[in-house]
Structure 1
Amino acid sequence: MAKPERAIAWPDRLLFIGCGNMAGAMLARWLDCGLPPERVTVVRPSGKAVAEGVNVLTQLDGPVAEGTLVLLGFKPQQLGEIAQTLAPLLSGATLFSILAGVPVAQLRDAFPQSGTILRCMPNLPVRIGKGVSILHGDVDASAVQREQTEALCAPLGLVEWLDDEALFDAATAVAGCGPAFVYRFIDALAAAGRNLGLGDAASARMALVMVEGAAISAAASDIPPDAMADAVASKGGMTREGLDVLDRPDGLAFLIDQTLRAARDRGVALAALSRKAD
């Protein structure tokens, strides 16, 4: 995993409220890139260790220190319950939320005494520095805070700011949920190869490495992916015959459109669930 070329100005204190798969992936990447573990505290009911040198608590025993960056990494449905006890302890703290479907206004209602609130939606490839972090800042987020947030997320991969928070669920459907959809495609490709008579292991290996190589090639090219597809599809050839199936009106584009809409709409529903739990 590549390390950032520039030195990172790590927060003096980083507090994780919850540390599930996504928050854990972010923390692991930051530690790999040089975040001093003694600056990190994780609050999780289980008290389970996270990484060597990282302090783990089952609950906060007092207000957080001034200047602490607080990452909210629990389930969005838990917002109301957790905020009841946590909000008084976060007075003035900068909140960095990765709660899916929970807008800044709702976070402000839950934590009225906090400082600036920033939203981030990462995806799991952040663990290897190849992820996407979608960011949106509170109205009071300063240019310096935006720069610091972007610098913090840079080791995770691509950073995309959204000025219009209404698009957050749509962006999450593409980048946040997207890896799972790609994994399904890889599995489907391997299964189709098996149906054509290839061995299970061989078909799985070819599908996985093919997708990896194609993604790297697309990322390194100035040519749009649709043009790259056409460039390798000779008229009357095997690739063109397969593309003609994918390009049907009810083919891949339609299926992906429906997939993203379903994911986006679930983000809206999650926000409604978290409001009911408040």
Structure 2
Amino acid sequence: MRLLMIGAGNMGGAMLRRWLEAGLAPADVTVVSPSGRTMPEGVRVVSSVPDAGEATYDAILLGLKPQQLSALHGGPLAGHAPRLLVSILAGVEVATLASLCDAAVVVRAMPNLPVAIGKGVVALHASATDDATRDELDRWMAPLGLVEWIADEAQFDDVTALAGCGPGFVFRFADALAQAGAALGLRSDQAARLALATLEGAAIMASDAAVTPAVLADRVASPGGSTRQGLDVLDADDALVRLLTETLAASAARNREMAAAARIV
């Protein structure tokens, strides 16, 4: 696959490194980076989008910030006709992306940060795909982690709130768990190690289990025991569910605001 990446910051760079580890040839990758950011050996780095007559690409991946999208309107990608135009820009819709170049298929992708270790989530929505294109996208994204197709683009902002923003919320929960342990009297560094190891082990167990996390929680909470006493605090008036629902709703609302702004550009 001849790949042109426009922007390769933290997320795009993590995706690129995983693909290279999976066998993508560095010589087949060109990265547009005005700052000249260092890329893996063998990857071509240019300061601006190459002219369509200079090179052709099978796929173009947009990895810049949503607020930088205006720089691509009305010119830089004109004349390019990749098979795939893939965007990881939060909130930017297929209709907006389709105006940038003559791509055969326009794809929205929402990866999250753990793609850097191959344990991420990549949500996909496409303008239209046949089985062969869908299979190709599945294979391309597989080294990054779990691949989920979202049929209704209107739900993509919600998926982004859950999976795209989710690692940030989990990191915050891990920090809060550690702080709560320190409040009981544990050393801060020890509480942090215990919290992270607990989260890691519980996540692996939940992922491998044949039952839901809700069932697992009840299984480890003996009646009258200490786990049940703690769960009663989280479960009272659905406190934890309400907090996370409000959290995701705030992120989803922001995604929709960014989509509206992109339409205006």
Classify the TM-score, shorter chain: over 0.9
Bigger shift: residues 221-230 or 61-70 = 61-70
Alignment match, 2:13: 24
Aligned-partner Cα distance in 1 for 2:83–2:47: 20
> 2:248 corresponds to which residue?
260
1:40-79 equivalences under 5 Å are 40-63=29-52, 65-79=55-69
3-state SS, counterpart of residue 91 of structure 2: coil
SS at match of 1:49: coil
Summarize deviations over 1:69-90 as a string: whole Å, max 9, x none: 1000111122122233323142
Task: Quote the offset at 1:65 in angstroms.
Answer: 3.5
1:224 corresponds to which residue?
212
Q: Percent identity?
A: 50
C-alpha distance in structure 1 between counterparts of 2:83 and 2:207, whole Å: 38
Q: Distance in 2 between matches of 1:92 and 1:204?
A: 47
Work out which of the residue numbers 198, 213, 217 in structure 1 matches 2:201: 213
Residue 129 of structure 2 corresponds to residue 103 of structure 1:
no
Q: Do 1:66 and 1:93's aligned partners in 2 also have CA atoms closer than 8 Å?
A: no
> 1:119 and 2:119 equivalent?
no
Which consecutive residues of structure 2, in runs of 5 or more, have no partner in the other structure? none
* One-letter code aligned to 1:135: L
Q: Tell me the TM-score normalised to structure 2 length.
A: 0.96
Aligned residues: 264
1:192 matched to 2:149:
no
Q: Give every structure 1 segment of 4 or more consecutive aligned residues whose post-TM-superposition deviation is greater than 6 Å.
A: none
Q: Is 1:83 matched up with 2:73?
A: yes
Match of 2:118 in 1: 129
Q: What corresponds to 2:259 in structure 1? A: 271
Structure 1: state its 5+ residue gaps: 1-10
Which shows bigger deviation, 67-76 or 83-92? 83-92
Question: Does the C-alpha gap of structure 1 residues 92 and 15 become closer, same or farther in structure 2, counting only changes over 3 Å?
Answer: closer
* 1:59-110 CA distance string (max 9 Å, x none): 134116444210001111221222333231423552011111011011113x
SS at match of 1:248: helix
Name the amino acid aligned to 1:20. Answer: G
Relative to the length of structure 1, the TM-score reads 0.91
